Structure 1
Amino acid sequence: MSDHEHVEKKAESLERRHEEENLMLRKRQEEYRVIEEVFDRLTLQGVYKLLSQKVIDEFHGVVNAGKEARVYWGLDPEGAELAIKIYYTSTAEFRKGMMQYIQGDPRFKRVKRSTRGIIYTWTQKEFKNLQLVEKAGVNAPRPIAFNRNILVMTFIGEDGVPAPLLREVKPDDPTDFYTKLINEVKLMYTKARIVHGDLSEYNIMVWEGIPVIFDVSQAMLTSHPLSQSLITRDITNINSYFGRLRVDTHDAEELEQWVKGESEELS
């Protein structure tokens, strides 16, 4: 039996299992139909795998839908809330943009150039980047598992309602929040040794008064040649946003040196 036939047979078996046991979504059939319509068979197999491994116990509705992925709310067997991010596998334009952030990363020397292969690598890259920031103590979702184009993380929010984005809610004390955020960026650079590369008010959540950084799939190792231009862009974005909130931001060049550990104090 060829690998393709094996996959087809396994998929058919899993589909029968779903029909017989109603495994996928307990009490959420309408949402399951939406998932079936949007995602392909191999993605569904990945979801089944995570369910059978007890990584996910309950799979609920969409909390965010974008051009690249959808994020669902779920629960683990202990009732802890999960964010389940599923990347689309048929977005050719998205695929083109991914490669510039994968090439040159020593962690991913052999990448299948098919759209599916690149997206699977992209998912793995986000998982590994989250592991780095977790180890460094950065405020970010904690990585739990990944399978193919599916990434499971801790959910930032409560009762299925995600924490607001920085662009959606003004911090009570913008100056204090700015200080907390640049300390997170410094932790990412000096401890996790990665640069976010797309940091803005669109991928920073506000939760219990602290910044939570997410969407780190494009983040690059500080050893990568492009990392220096990316950290400059991150600093510029941060200062630009908080400047609009009338925060007395630090000089961009001085802040970048401090973030990189090249100076001990900020003026």
Structure 2
Amino acid sequence: MDPKITKADEEIQKIISKKRLKSVEDRRVGSEIFDEQTLKTLYKLANHGYLTVLNGAISTGKEANVLKGIHEDDSRVDSFVAVKIYRIATSDFKKMQYYIQGDPRFNVKSNNKRQLITSWVNKEYRNLLRAHEVDVNVPKPIIAMNNVLLLEFIGDDLGNPAQTVKNQPPIDVDEFLNKLLIEMNKFINEANLVHGDLSTFNILNKDEKPVIIDVSQSVVRDHPIANDLLIRDINTIFKEFKKMGASADLEEIKAALNLDIDLTT
């Protein structure tokens, strides 16, 4: 297991000890992930019935940690959810402003870090919803609140999360790439979005099917930087899958995506 995830797991257990979230609010926490505002947000989500227990880390990064949550319904049947918590202390606010500026869906003028992160979380929620509505294989968003995003858990019934393509390469690379190109086609041409950071780190391998994740930086097609991001995404996917043995060339990928674009720009 990734040592960063192991460390995050240890921090979570120190804080919640797999107890109900209602017991968390009164705990004194020094973690930059679980600051007072984040704990209040988690507590509110628990009170509204979205979340019952936090139970371990799925992934960890500089800007956000993804945790495994458990939701218990009225019949006391447990189901898993993914809980993405953006970290106020270490987020790259210049990058966030770069991707938000020019997006007609958002009018963020404040330099307040917490407000910017709230807008960033809402941006990821809306991007996921937009993609999900046209049947792109992405995690279904559940709710966004402050710096916390709840979304569909991608994994097995035992709570084991699906791995990224980087960590779990596909068995049949060409077949997997073809499936990915179908999802990218819908993402680009039906959801009218450009991912902006697409790579094997941001694609899950769920039973040999691709699931596109981490769409907070994704922009609409008419965004001023959309074309540059699209070219970068396509070239990245081509290079990374080529290393894994894919046979498709750039022109075949471009054709599969129904794009008329100069990839050398």
**TM-score range for the pair, normalised by the shorter chain length:** 0.7 to 0.9
Map 1:36-115 to 2 at 5 A. 37-38=31-32, 39-78=34-73, 79-91=78-90, 94-115=92-113
Deviation of the 1:168 alpha carbon: 1.1
Q: Output aligned runs, 1:1-267, within 5 Å.
A: 23-24=20-21, 37-38=31-32, 39-78=34-73, 79-91=78-90, 94-158=92-156, 159-252=158-251, 255-256=253-254, 258-262=256-260
Secondary structure of 1:181's aligned partner:
helix
Cα distance between partner residues in 2 of 1:64 and 1:34: 24
Q: Specify whether residues 110 and 67 from structure 1 end up closer, same or farther in structure 2 by C-alpha distance, changes over 3 A only.
A: closer
**What's the TM-score, normalizing by structure 2?**
0.83
| Secondary structure of residue in 2 paired with 1:183 | helix
The 2-side partners of 1:230 and 1:182 are apart by: 16
Query: What stretches of structure 2 of length at least 5 have no aligned partner?
Result: 1-18
Q: What CA distance in whole angstroms lies between the structure 1 residues aligned with 2:259 and 2:169? A: 29
* Worse-superposed segment, 170-179 or 156-165: 156-165
Read off the aligned partner of 1:234 and give its amino acid letter: D
Q: What secondary structure, in the 3-state scheme, does the structure 1 residue paired with 2:69 have? A: strand
Query: Cα RMSD over matched residues?
Result: 2.2
Distance apart, 1:209 and its partner CA: 1.3
Aligned length: 236
Amino acid in structure 2 at the alignment position of 1:164: Q
Cα distance change on mapping 1:136 and 1:199 into 2, 3 Å: same
TM-score by length of 1: 0.82
In structure 1, list runs of 5 or more residues that go unmatched.
Answer: 1-21
Distance 1:110 1:102 in 2: 8
Supply the distance in 2 between the matched residues of 1:228 and 1:86 (Cα, whole angstroms): 29
Corresponding residue for residue 6 of structure 2: none
Structure 1 stretches of 4+ moved >4 Å:
32-36, 260-263
Spell out, residue by residue over 1:186-214, the C-alpha distance to the aligned partner (whole angstroms, 9 max, x if none): 10011111010110010101001100010
Q: Do 2:184 and 2:257's aligned partners in 1 also have CA atoms closer than 8 Å?
A: yes
Identity of aligned pairs, percent?
A: 34
